[in-house]
Amino acid sequence: MTTQADNYQPSHPRHQWCRLMQALPSNEVITVANQCGAAYQVEDLQLPESGLALLKTRDSAMGDDYFLGEIPVARAHVRLIHQGHVVAEGAAQLLNDQTNLARSMAILDAILSQQLPGYQAAAKLLDAGAVILKGESEKRRAMLSSTLVDFSLLGNEEDEHHA
């Protein structure tokens, strides 16, 4: 017998899930994770933590490494247990300092990756985040196109003045 979960195909690749969820209000993600994760014992494989990471880059002219600055990072790694059996593991790492958000995203990662009960609510979060990010991308594209300069016209005006 084929169930709906057997036919589930994520509409977004897993490496994008945190990015998509981070586009939403934190409390919305945390609420859905609490609701979906309530049926499981959540075990922290790595305690949720936050801190600063150094952003390193390489100078293109000299090839030397240098640090641009510090960025906030939060991460979590969880295991979901149901009736004494491990059912899934999930992890999240994000550019944010909210450990509770990272843990919630790790829970949703586990639920989505194994299509556990509640994955539909988590998938709706991904779709909502995708809509928000698409809107932001369209706004950026519109701003870039409004500042586009056609330099070929400048060359023609100079030629007309010299003629």
Return the pLDDT at 112: 93
Return the pLDDT at 37: 92
Return the pLDDT at 2: 34
Return the pLDDT at 119: 92
27-60 burial, b at 16+ Cβ within 10 Å, e below that, comes to eebbebbeebbeebebeeeeebebeeeeeeeeee
Return the pLDDT at 158: 53
Give the pairing of strands 41-58 and 65-82: antiparallel
Distances from the Cα of 162 to the Cα of 75, 86, 155, 157, 158, angstroms: 64, 80, 11, 9, 7
Return the pLDDT at 11: 83
Return the pLDDT at 93: 94
CA dihedral 47→13→111→131, nearest 10 degrees, is 100
Return the pLDDT at 63: 83
- Residue extents of the structural domains in the chain: 4-162
Return the pLDDT at 163: 55
Residues with Cβ within 8 Å of residue 22, at least 6 apart in sequence: 29, 94, 96, 101, 105, 129
CB 81 within 8 A of CB 41: yes
CA-nearest of 74, 71, 80, 73 to 102 is 74
The pLDDT averaged over each successive group of 10 residues in the chain (163 residues) is 48 91 95 94 94 88 86 95 90 94 96 92 94 87 77 62 58
